[in-house]
Amino acid sequence: MADAAVKIEAEQDLTDGFHLIIDALKLNGLNTIYGVPGIPITDFGRMAQAAGIRVISFRHEQNAGYAASIAGYLTKKPGICLTVSAPGFLNGLTALAHATTNCFPMILISGSSEREIVDLQQGDYEEMDQLAIAKPLCKAAFRVLHAADIGIGVARAIRAAVSGRPGGVYLDLPAKLFGQVMDAEAGQKSLVKVIDAAPAQIPAPAAVKRALDVLKSAKRPLIILGKGAAYAQADDAIRSLVEKSGIPFLPMSMAKGLLPDTHPQCAGAARSTVLKDSDVVMLIGARLNWLLSHGKGKAWGEAPKKFIQIDIEPKEMDSNVEIVAPVVGDIGSCVSALLQGMGGNWPAPPADWPAAVTKKREENVSKMAPRLMNNNSPMDYHGALGVLRTIVKERPHAILVNEGANTLDLARGIIDMYQPRKRLDVGTWGIMGIGMGYSIAAAIETGKPVLAVEGDSAFGFSGMEVETICRYKLPVCIVIFNNDGIYRGTDVNSVSSDPAPTMFVKGSRYDKMIEGFGGVGVNATSPDELKRAVNAAMDSGKPTLINAVLDPAAGSESGRIGNLNPQSKIRKK
């Protein structure tokens, strides 16, 4: 054989790190990557795209990371974020920590520099000991040094991300790994298809019985649904459990729509009453963290309270208060076991309790109703949200992304949700910046139209991704509640000509931004204009940004959580 032919034949029998990583991801059904290119992963992105993986290229890794995190939440498969070393890795790390805190499965894959140089701290290009830095912020962190270990490395990352309580995983891939070659057949054999990545965890029968005994003894029971319950995709079983029990339920923000907010048992509009007056509370995939006032204090009233908790993480039990009936297992298995244990003639709670909850709920709803119908210009939150509430009611399949302070708190209360996993928001940390990343991933993963309701400050954290939305022609309609600032647009600095720290340029026109990228921009000054513009956008599917002009005085400091601002006895200046 001629030399050239020998060389070609030899090459055909070889594979490399680039291809083994791609093959390992594809073998496990991970077909979308969210990231930002650069050394050492630029060619990897190109090759992944050529191999049929969807590679969504962002303007900043943090947004790609948030996209990956919510893709994980929506699909129960780890969302993949791909970054370059040091600065790109750090930009992605916030999202990895966010995924871990929110229990979303995600894998941050970052290229890294030469190990030998990094470890001797000799100043390599983008030098950083990324593995060490990632470790405290995620569930697990791995590094692959040899092409032959790529299969097992990816498998470990997947399993760590989705099994038990899901979370973020870091996978460190040094630059040299991508170019390493090995025998193609051995390479194929080294790949691992993860079997049963999130095995069912069946609750102990005694734990189920204990929980049902406590529930049966209740006079004023309450079920709280958290985003863990929504993540579980056990929608039918959860609905059956709630309906069969006859117990009022309170959905946490991202659990809204698991059962419709308009369901007769929904206590969303009677939140303070049910927290105070309930005697037995069953938490399903909800944690007693700050969002539930840690299960104690004023919000929970004086009367003694018993908690039943369903969670996959045993350490969650007794985290803040005593849990009298812990049920540890995956939500689907636990809810099914409870349903089975309830049998055919489960007694409804004493009738005065659901009646009292319904009365309170109806009072609150009718108090709010007239405020939602105002057509004031400039708009207030209620006028603008009244319009959006109807638009979502008419499109229950659409995905609502929501961030801000007043924009978040008021939208959460006013916009009813009708289907599971349609409301995506700031989550456990109350983080600003998830908006465009979430919107992009929601559109990509579900193919559904997305409505992003954004405070003007919140939007700014990821605003550059409107270019990404236009580039991929995604059906995303962004509504910016523009009140000229953070919480309000009315602060003044009495000392110098600098604007107050919470203020933005007055009368900004965010709609002009998207026009620069070929999207549709609209300036809406009244609820009527807003309604027309959002309807048009949701119907056309064209990337649209609506600048909704809000009264700068309409909001309040920190929205609903102003009480968390530290206070001093010395009077404020």
Ligand X SMILES: Cc1ncc(C[n+]2csc(CCOP(=O)(O)OP(=O)(O)O)c2C)c(N)n1
Binding site for ligand X (CB under 6 A): 404-407, 430-433, 455-458, 481, 483, 486-487, 555, 559
Spatial contact of 509 and 546, defined as CB atoms under 8 Å apart: no
The entry of ligand X, Mg ion, none that residue 420 binds, CB within 5 to 8 Å by partner kind: none
The entry of ligand X, Mg ion, none that residue 405 binds, CB within 5 to 8 Å by partner kind: ligand X
The entry of Mg ion, ligand X, none that residue 554 binds, CB within 5 to 8 Å by partner kind: none
The entry of ligand X, Mg ion, none that residue 430 binds, CB within 5 to 8 Å by partner kind: ligand X
For ligand X, the closer CB: 345 or 565:
565
Strand partners, 2: none
Sole residue written with tokens 């049998």: 343
For Mg ion, the closer CB: 151 or 455:
455
Spatial contact of 126 and 87, defined as CB atoms under 8 Å apart: yes
Q: What is the DSSP letter of 270?
A: G
CA–CA separation, 157 vs 95, rounded Å?
16
Smallest separation (angstroms) from Mg ion to the CB of 373: 23
DSSP conformation letters of 129-167: -HHHHHGGGSSEEEE--SGGGHHHHHHHHHHHHHSSS--
The entry of ligand X, Mg ion, none that residue 221 binds, CB within 5 to 8 Å by partner kind: none
The bridge status of strand 181-183 relative to strand 14-16 is antiparallel
For Mg ion, the closer CB: 34 or 487:
487
Smallest separation (angstroms) from ligand X to the CB of 556: 8
Smallest separation (angstroms) from ligand X to the CB of 528: 21
CA–CA separation, 399 vs 441, rounded Å?
11
The entry of Mg ion, ligand X, none that residue 559 binds, CB within 5 to 8 Å by partner kind: ligand X
The bridge status of strand 32-35 relative to strand 181-183 is unpaired
Phi, psi of 531 (to 5 degrees): -60, -50
Phi, psi of 103 (to 5 degrees): 65, 45
Task: Provide the residue count of the chain.
Answer: 573
Smallest separation (angstroms) from ligand X to the CB of 380: 11
The pair of three-digit structure tokens given for residue 68, joined into one six-digit string:
């990956």
For ligand X, the closer CB: 406 or 544:
406
Smallest separation (angstroms) from ligand X to the CB of 406: 4
Smallest separation (angstroms) from ligand X to the CB of 557: 9
Sole residue written with tokens 């997947």: 158
Smallest separation (angstroms) from Mg ion to the CB of 537: 21
Distances (CA, A) of 462 to 17, 57, 72, 387, 466: 33, 14, 19, 25, 8
For ligand X, the closer CB: 16 or 551:
551
The entry of ligand X, Mg ion, none that residue 458 binds, CB within 5 to 8 Å by partner kind: ligand X
199 torsion bin: left (phi>0), alpha (psi -120 to 50), beta (else): beta
Smallest separation (angstroms) from ligand X to the CB of 537: 20
Smallest separation (angstroms) from ligand X to the CB of 104: 17
The entry of Mg ion, ligand X, none that residue 45 binds, CB within 5 to 8 Å by partner kind: none
Tell me the CB-side half-sphere exposure of residue 211, using CA atoms within 13 A: 29
For ligand X, the closer CB: 224 or 486:
486
Spatial contact of 86 and 482, defined as CB atoms under 8 Å apart: no
Phi, psi of 140 (to 5 degrees): -155, 150
Smallest separation (angstroms) from ligand X to the CB of 426: 7
For ligand X, the closer CB: 278 or 482:
482
CA–CA separation, 291 vs 429, rounded Å?
9
* N-term to C-term CA, the chain: 88
CA–CA separation, 309 vs 324, rounded Å?
8
Spatial contact of 336 and 244, defined as CB atoms under 8 Å apart: no
The entry of Mg ion, ligand X, none that residue 225 binds, CB within 5 to 8 Å by partner kind: none
Phi, psi of 106 (to 5 degrees): -155, 145
The entry of ligand X, Mg ion, none that residue 438 binds, CB within 5 to 8 Å by partner kind: none
- 251 CB neighbour count, 10 Å cutoff: 27
Q: Which stretch binds Mg ion (CB under 5 A): 33-41, 127-135, 225-233, 454-462?
A: 454-462
The entry of ligand X, Mg ion, none that residue 338 binds, CB within 5 to 8 Å by partner kind: none
Q: Within positions 455 to 514, which residues make up the interface with Mg ion, using CB under 5 A? A: 455-456, 483
Smallest separation (angstroms) from ligand X to the CB of 53: 30
The entry of Mg ion, ligand X, none that residue 329 binds, CB within 5 to 8 Å by partner kind: none
Smallest separation (angstroms) from ligand X to the CB of 551: 11
Residue number, nearest CB to ligand X? 455
CA–CA separation, 64 vs 322, rounded Å?
39
Smallest separation (angstroms) from Mg ion to the CB of 261: 25
For ligand X, the closer CB: 273 or 406:
406
Is 380 a residue that touches Mg ion (CB under 5 A)? no
For ligand X, the closer CB: 163 or 407:
407
For Mg ion, the closer CB: 112 or 483:
483
Angle, helices 150-162/17-27, rounded to nearest 10 degrees: 40
CA–CA separation, 198 vs 237, rounded Å?
19
The entry of Mg ion, ligand X, none that residue 182 binds, CB within 5 to 8 Å by partner kind: none
For ligand X, the closer CB: 147 or 458:
458
For Mg ion, the closer CB: 25 or 414:
414
Spatial contact of 436 and 63, defined as CB atoms under 8 Å apart: yes
For Mg ion, the closer CB: 445 or 456:
456
Contacting positions for Mg ion (CB under 5 A): 455-456, 483
